[in-house]
Structure 1
Amino acid sequence: MKGAGVIYLDAVWLLNLLMDAMILYLTQGVVRARSSKIRMFCAAFAASSIVPISIFMPDLWLTSTLGKLVFSLLIIGIAFSFTSLRAFILQLVSFYFITFSIGGSMLGVHFFLATEISIQGGSIVTFSGGYGDPVSWMFVCIGFPCSFFFTKWRMEQVSVHQMKLENIYDVKITWNGKEVLCRGMVDSGNQLIDPISRKMVFLADHTVMGQFLEPEVLEKLQVDQILTSMEELPSDIQSSVRLVPFQAAGSKGQLLVTVLVDQISIVTPQGNLEMKQPLVGVQHHDLTHDRLYQMLIHPHIMVKGKTA
């Protein structure tokens, strides 16, 4: 046919697959829904399959308004776990809102660039090459990584807020061939991280550290003595000591004496959370007057997963 353009179906399908994945990731970040990479990929693949359906079966009922609504319900059902009807409707509405927002933005860019646009069969058609709309590719290249990191950040925030901060867990500390059991509480105020190694810092009282160290060695692990008594410590202790700067509310910058232990394991109803080679801050006093717990757990270990 004279003047007919060539459409590269694989390229256009890939473009729609990435665009749908970006929209689903943004939806997940907005509604804070639980999902998995496999479910997100399957949902994006199902959503993008409307491309070959529209080309080869343009009269199929799925291309109608009702069909597109049913198709959207299927996409949301694949992407996110069903928890309640209210959550499902919120996910669907957010999915449409983000889709319309991105679509409107793309139309605005087309208008700004004076791109030729027409309406054919109820669909907006842009006149470009057979590899897909370049503006859409631009949105994918810029928006996909942004949506991924936005969703990742949002889901980490949700994990921190949803965990039971007041719960106390059994904790096992492994260091220098010894294992010590204690009780630890998740402390949302403990955001301390070593600025050099980026390792999380846990806090343990003297009753815990006293099971690893001799009393005279533990006494030397105080900030006002560590610099002058470092050479008097055993070589394995010297190699484990780290000084971490911190600033408490209403005070100037200070240093915290920490030791690099082999592993910390936290027992939770969902399974053990394990952190390899974290830093443990040495506290020379009880963390609570009733000694209900002996360690303050860094909250981000609940975000990092079972092995961090």
Structure 2
Amino acid sequence: MAIYLDVIWFLNFCIDLLLLVLTALVLKRSFKKWRLLLGALVASSSIFIVMTTLSPLFYHPMFKLIFSSCIVVTAFGFKKISYFIQNLLTFYFVSFICGGGLIALHFMFNNEMVILNGVVTTKSTGLGTPISWLLVVIGFPTIWLFARKRIEQMEVRKVKYEDIVQVDLFILDRQIQLKGLIDSGNQLQDPLTKKPVMVIDMNDLHNKFPKSIVQQAKHPEMIGDPSFVIDKDWEEKLCIIPYRGIGQVNQFIIGIRPNKVIVTLGQGEELDCSNVIVGLNFTNLSSEGDFNCILHPQMLIQGKKRLA
């Protein structure tokens, strides 16, 4: 039987890369692409170890632990022991989920096993069967996406929507401190970039913005009108967000792309939620003044943890 080592290596490289990416997404780690590629390269090198006289060593549990630790450190670095352990355990977690799902699909569609004289035997070629390749090429990405979505759903359920959180909004040279309510009913997204939209109460915050921006927010239908003179730096950050409320016709509000948004949760945990658009709204959000902005739940799912 011919074994196509280059094909097997490339396949393992892609799978290891997806596992490292999923690990980073689950932990909300900021990562460098070249480090993940290098980590996947280290992980896929195990194929060559198996083909040498060192193969018995590879199957030893201690060697596997050391090898997987090298993969994690290569991909995410080593900042402190708790950071390393969290990365390692999460890497195992996503590997077990995806690997277990792939094995389950394989046994469901497997037709390579036969029983001869009471002995289970398999038949395959160096390139495998079409079924096995379909399971890997299509099945693994499907399981990867399924696992990612399920994990995101679990995170949404953990969010305490009744909590008021601190929000630090950075736009150009301005920093604005807000009190935000995490609202599960806020599903507003920018239709072009699909970024979540957080809505702020301009009645309370109009003095934090230039007068031209305030006037533009009051009259979004006049955007692009030459009578509105807006500073170029601010103009480049403006966008229009269409929306429709209950019992209302299609409307739109002015949005601003911030430089950075930091959300502080309970126990001082900070999330970098900069992948968002700030909607400028003149509707009173809280009659008692408990909060002056509404956060999109997706912000907390996509947000990246900031290390102290």
Please give the alpha-carbon distance, in whole angstroms, between the structure 2 residues aligned to 1:178 and 1:16.
Answer: 48
SS where residue 188 of structure 2 aligns?
coil
Q: Which one of the candidate residues 107, 110, 122 is aligned to 1:103?
A: 107
8 A Cα contact 1:168 1:293, kept in partner: yes
* 1:203 alignment partner AA: V
- Cα distance change, pair 97–122 in 1 and its aligned pair in 2 (3 A): farther
Please give the alpha-carbon distance, in whole angstroms, between the structure 1 residues aligned to 2:282 and 2:149.
Answer: 36
Alignment pair present for 1:138 and 2:134:
yes
8 A Cα contact 2:109 2:131, kept in partner: no
Partner of 2:251 in structure 1? 254
TM-score, with structure 1 as normaliser: 0.63
RMSD over aligned CA atoms reads 5.0
Partner of 2:295 in structure 1? 297
Partner of 2:167 in structure 1? 171
Give, in angstroms, the shift of residue 305 of structure 1.
2.7
Alignment of 1:115-130 (within 5 A): 117-119=114-116, 122-128=119-125, 130=126
Give, in angstroms, the shift of residue 181 of structure 1.
0.9
Moved over 4 A (4+): 5-8, 10-21, 33-38, 80-83, 91-98, 117-122
TM-score, with structure 2 as normaliser: 0.63
Q: Which runs of 5+ in 1 are unaligned?
A: 63-69, 112-116
Alignment of 1:51-90 (within 5 A): none
SS where residue 153 of structure 2 aligns?
helix
SS where residue 121 of structure 2 aligns?
strand
Please give the alpha-carbon distance, in whole angstroms, between the structure 1 residues aligned to 2:181 and 2:223.
Answer: 33
Q: Which moved more, 1:238-247 or 1:227-236?
A: 227-236
Q: Which runs of 5+ in 2 are unaligned?
A: 30-35, 70-86
Alignment of 1:271-290 (within 5 A): 271-275=270-274, 278-290=276-288
* 1:296 alignment partner AA: I
- Describe the superposition over 1:69-121 as per-residue Cα deviations: whole angstroms up to 9, x where unpaired: x9xxx9xxx9x9889xxxx9xx98997686344213122xx69xxxxx45488
* 2:123 alignment partner AA: T
8 A Cα contact 1:220 1:229, kept in partner: no
* 2:189 alignment partner AA: I
- Cα distance change, pair 265–100 in 1 and its aligned pair in 2 (3 A): closer
8 A Cα contact 1:18 1:140, kept in partner: no
- Describe the superposition over 1:240-289 as per-residue Cα deviations: whole angstroms up to 9, x where unpaired: 4322111112322211222333322212333232405x422222232111
Partner of 2:304 in structure 1? 306
